Amino acid sequence: MTSTPTSRRSPLASAAALIGVLLLFGAITFIAGLAIGGNSGPFARADASASPRPTVVVPSDAATPGPTPVLETITCAEPSEAFAVLCDAYAQIRSSFVDEISDEQLVDGAVRGMVEYGLEDPYSGYLPPEQYGEALEDLSGEFSGIGAEVGMENLVDPADLESCTVVTETCSMVIVAPLEGSPAEAAGLQPGDQILAIDGQSTVGESVSSLVYVVRGEAGTDVTLTIRRDDEEMDITVTRAVIDLQEVRSELLDDGVGYVRLTTFTARATDMVREAISSLLDQGATRFVLDLRGNPGGYIDAARGIASQFIAANELLFTVESGEEVQEWRAVDGLLQSSDVLVVVLIDGGSASASEIVAAAIQEHDRATLVGEATFGKNTVQIWNELPNGGGLRLTTDRWFTPEHNSVAPDGVQPDVEVAAPEDPSSEEDPQLDRALELLGE
């Protein structure tokens, strides 16, 4: 991260502070809800400086019942009153369970249970060592999967996402956005698709963290997702492939309109967007469209860098808050900060997290017109840390708020001009972009 905001933590080299939606079906995106990163992909480290591994401290005045003998030289030698229950359960399992079971299995299950059932947070998660190791291997920025970001949605009460730690009849795993050019997009997956089963196995009772690894697999192999779209259920088979992320695409449209599409907020996204804007200015662009549709998010620092291209330096972009601790993130130098340059930002239901930071900041500073549909609605920040067993623990550590201290959860950022996308996602028509161009020509 840059030195502008005052940071209270310095993540491990293997940790990532980010905002995004949940799991990319390739590398885990707990960077965006859920991801690990690489310098050439959406999972690059936000801050490479080291910090001590977090520890748990039991207050010295906590009640400490006598240790269970079998555990005295293993763990729980001085358990707190609350943890005595866990320690006693462990002792009974080790001494009386009918089948052989290892400490590693029990610890893995205990940590998973604490995260998935104790925290009541769909964006926190745990990866056992083998899965976390696979995620770290994706640091090359190249991975195989279907290329879609997913999240959890409460179908009955969207505001009550905290109760959706696993998939149930009311808590559904949904497609947030297929990545542009991905197998998921080619197969016809759309934002909002509810994933009911994977290769015939129901998703009910499972966490999104674990389901992502069922979908992952070698390039060239197939996976069949049973989805519900509106009131229709269907099977969609996707052929996994190596995902080559193209974060930025730009071109000069008619009448001097510069078009910049950003698909993910990677560590290099700011530089790539600046280069695209600079090139378009050299080509004669005088007005701009920033396309954030289907962009599931990424790093906070990238969100600040992209928003800074359009909002005057030192203006407040967003705050990141945990309890009474507040970090203010302000704009730095950018290329299109003058209000004389007209800008339209395109958004939709697949625009999440970092995309929402940028869209909300630009809207509240009255710097651009937002066109399209309401965004996803995620306002939390996660970090990944490695555990002593080699597993990974992803925790929601903060919430972010707009310059006017609004939350985008659960309703998302609302467009200034609402324009629906075509019902057929394969249609070559783009009424949202057409409306943006009309606004820039007025």
Mean model confidence pLDDT for the chain: 81
The pLDDT score that the predictor gives to residue 179 is: 82
Contact between 154 and 171 (Cβ < 8 Å) = yes
Q: Is the pLDDT of residue 439 over 90?
A: yes
SS3 at position 51: coil
Residues 6 or more apart from 256 whose CB is under 8 A from it?
A: 284, 285, 286, 287
The pLDDT score that the predictor gives to residue 131 is: 77
Distance CA 335, CA 311 (A): 9
Which two tokens mark 9?
């933590």
Spatial CA neighbour of 196 closest among 162, 238, 224: 224
Which domains does the chain show, CATH number per domain?
248-379+400-441 (3.90.226.10)
SS3 at position 146: coil
Q: Is the pLDDT of residue 8 over 70?
A: no
- Which stretch, 9-13, 43-47, 341-345, has highest mean pLDDT? 341-345
How much is the average pLDDT of 207-219? 84
Q: Is the pLDDT of residue 53 over 90?
A: no
The pLDDT score that the predictor gives to residue 236 is: 97
Strands (E), 308-438: 316-322, 325-330, 343-347, 369-372, 380-386, 392-401, 417-418
Q: Is the pLDDT of residue 341 over 70?
A: yes
Spatial CA neighbour of 430 closest among 293, 296, 295, 297: 293
DSSP 255-308: GGEEEEEE--B-TTHHHHHHHHHHHHHHTT--EEEEE-TT--EEEHHHHHHHHT
Distance CA 198, CA 191 (A): 17
The pLDDT score that the predictor gives to residue 137 is: 52
- Which stretch, 66-70, 149-153, 157-161, 266-270, has highest mean pLDDT? 266-270
Contact between 400 and 379 (Cβ < 8 Å) = yes
Please state, as a whole number, how many other Cβ atoms lie within 10 Å of the Cβ of residue 160.
13
Q: Is the pLDDT of residue 136 over 70?
A: no
What angle separates helix 81-96 from helix 103-113, to the nearest 10 degrees? 140
3-state SS of the chain: helix, strand, coil percent to 5? 25, 25, 50
The pLDDT score that the predictor gives to residue 134 is: 67
Q: Which residue has the tokens 């080559």?
A: 244
Spatial CA neighbour of 382 closest among 34, 6, 50: 34
Report strand pairing: 369-372 vs 417-418.
Answer: parallel
Looking from the CA of 348 toward its CB, the CA atoms found within 13 Å total 22
More confident residue, 225 or 64: 225
Q: Is the pLDDT of residue 32 over 60?
A: no
Give the H or E element holding residue 432.
helix 431-441
Residues 6 or more apart from 29 whose CB is under 8 A from it?
A: 20, 21, 22, 23, 35, 36, 42, 43, 149, 296
pLDDT band at 15 (very low <50, low <70, confident <90, very high): very low
Give the lowest-confidence range in 13-22, 185-194, 247-256: 13-22
Distance CA 197, CA 210 (A): 13
Q: Is the pLDDT of residue 9 over 70?
A: no
As a whole-number percent, the residues of the chain with pLDDT over 90 amount to 54
The pLDDT score that the predictor gives to residue 409 is: 94
Contact between 133 and 32 (Cβ < 8 Å) = no
Q: Is residue 427 classed exposed, middle or buried when 0-12, 13-18 and 19+ CB atoms within 10 A define those classes? A: exposed
The pLDDT score that the predictor gives to residue 213 is: 79
SS3 at position 337: coil
Backbone torsions φ then ψ of 105, nearest 5 degrees:
-65, -45
How much is the average pLDDT of 411-424? 93
